[in-house]
């Protein structure tokens, strides 16, 4: 092979690595609502999960925490909520906003399990959470609902949202996207990871539902539904329910 052809081949290999990511394995993005259970896939798994190690980073500047070491759970705060699937996936029960972040699945081989098998497989876990400005509500009260997406941040929330085309929306019971008008005030934070809905409740709002949805590249990935339970008609706090979309 001529030198020119050799250089051209190397250039194509380098370009391919840039397009597919440094790891060579496409990064996964998993969206879930707080309180749900989740499965994080390990896309580089070998036939034996005793070679599998899972690492976790909450933020880009935080130190990595080892959750699974060569197929065995480590003694961490989330120890009791973790389990390893037969396909080496990481299962986490009762997700909280603190679980959002970057998860890396590694494979270690060799007689002493001291040789890392490339590439790593990375999963970004995004957690959707809704809260209300009031716990006891009634007609005539101005209520603000806050929908926040907790993610792994390299620099800022806006950085990951814009690069991955992640969006948050409030929709009504018919699935129609809500926009600011005389009834509703919809506003987003500067980094686009919090979207709020403010409205003054009416008598007929009892049992009304508003839903916050998160989309990734125009596909709904998860949602949380807020159901109005007026204290004047029902002696209970507002109800929240969540629905995981297609991943």
59-89: per-residue pLDDT in tens?
A: 888 899 999 999 999 988 888 999 999 999 9
| Helix, strand, or coil (residue 126) | strand
Please tell me if the domain spanning 23-127 has the same topology as the one spanning 128-244: yes
The two three-digit tokens of residue 159, written as one number: 């950085």
Average pLDDT, whole number, for the chain?
A: 83
Beta carbons of 219 and 167 less than 8 angstroms apart: no
Q: Give residue limits of the domains in the chain.
A: 23-127, 128-244
Q: Flag whether pLDDT at 5 surpasses 70.
A: no
What is the CB neighbour count within 10 angstroms for residue 43? 18
65-95 per-residue burial string, b: 16 or more CB within 10 A, e: under 16: eebbeeeebeeeebeeebebeeebbbebeeb
The confidence score (pLDDT) of residue 239 equals: 52
CATH 2.60.40.10 is held by the domain 128-244: yes
Q: Are strands 28-33 and 115-132 parallel, antiparallel or unpaired?
A: parallel
Q: Per-residue confidence at 241, pLDDT binned at 50, 70, 90?
A: low
Q: What is the pLDDT of residues 11-57, one digit of tens each?
A: 332 333 333 333 456 799 999 999 999 999 999 998 889 999 999 99
Alpha-carbon span 122 to 28, nearest angstrom = 6
* Cβ pair 145, 226 in contact under 8 A: yes
Q: Are 184 and 231 in contact (CB under 8 A)?
A: no
Q: Tell me if residue 14 falls in helix, strand or coil.
A: helix
- For residue 119, whether the previous peptide bond is cis, meaning omega lies within 30 degrees of 0, is yes
**Confidence at 191, pLDDT banded by 50, 70, 90:** confident
Separation CA 223–CA 11 (nearest Å): 43
How confident is the model at residue 135, as a pLDDT? 86
- In this predicted structure, the answer to whether residue 7 has a pLDDT above a threshold of 70 is no
Compute the distance between CA of residue 54 and CA of residue 67 in angstroms, rounded to an integer. 6
CATH topology (fold) of 23-127:
Immunoglobulin-like (2.60.40)
Residues 47, 107 contacting (CB under 8 angstroms): no
The candidate with the shortest Cα–Cα distance to 227, out of 167, 150, 149, 137, is 137
User: pTM value?
Assistant: 0.81
């Amino acid at each position: 092979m001529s030198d020119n052809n050799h250089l051209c081949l190397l250039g194509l290999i380098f370009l391919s690595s840039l397009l597919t990511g440094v790891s060579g394995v496409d990064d996964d993005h998993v969206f879930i609502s707080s309180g749900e259970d989740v499965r994080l896939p390990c896309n580089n798994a070998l036939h034996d999960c005793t070679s599998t190690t899972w690492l976790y980073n909450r933020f880009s500047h935080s130190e990595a925490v080892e959750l699974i070491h060569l197929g065995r759970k480590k003694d961490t705060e989330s120890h009791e909520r973790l389990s390893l699937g037969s396909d080496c996936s990481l299962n986490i029960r009762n997700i909280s906003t603190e679980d959002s972040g970057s998860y890396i699945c590694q494979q270690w081989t060799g007689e002493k399990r001291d040789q890392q098998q490339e590439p790593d497989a990375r999963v970004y876990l995004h957690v959707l959470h809704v809260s209300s400005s009031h716990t006891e509500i009634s007609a005539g009260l101005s209520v603000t609902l806050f929908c926040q997406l907790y993610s792994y941040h390299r620099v800022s929330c806006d950085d990951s949202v814009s690069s991955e085309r992640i969006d948050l929306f409030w929709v009504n019971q018919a699935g129609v996207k809500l926009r600011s008008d005389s009834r509703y005030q919809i506003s987003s934070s500067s980094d686009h990871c919090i979207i709020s809905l403010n409205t003054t409740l009416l008598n007929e709002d009892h049992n009304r539902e508003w839903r916050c949805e998160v989309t990734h590249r125009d596909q709904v990935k998860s949602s949380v539904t807020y159901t109005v339970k007026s204290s004047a008609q029902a002696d209970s706090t507002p109800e929240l329910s969540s629905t995981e979309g297609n991943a």
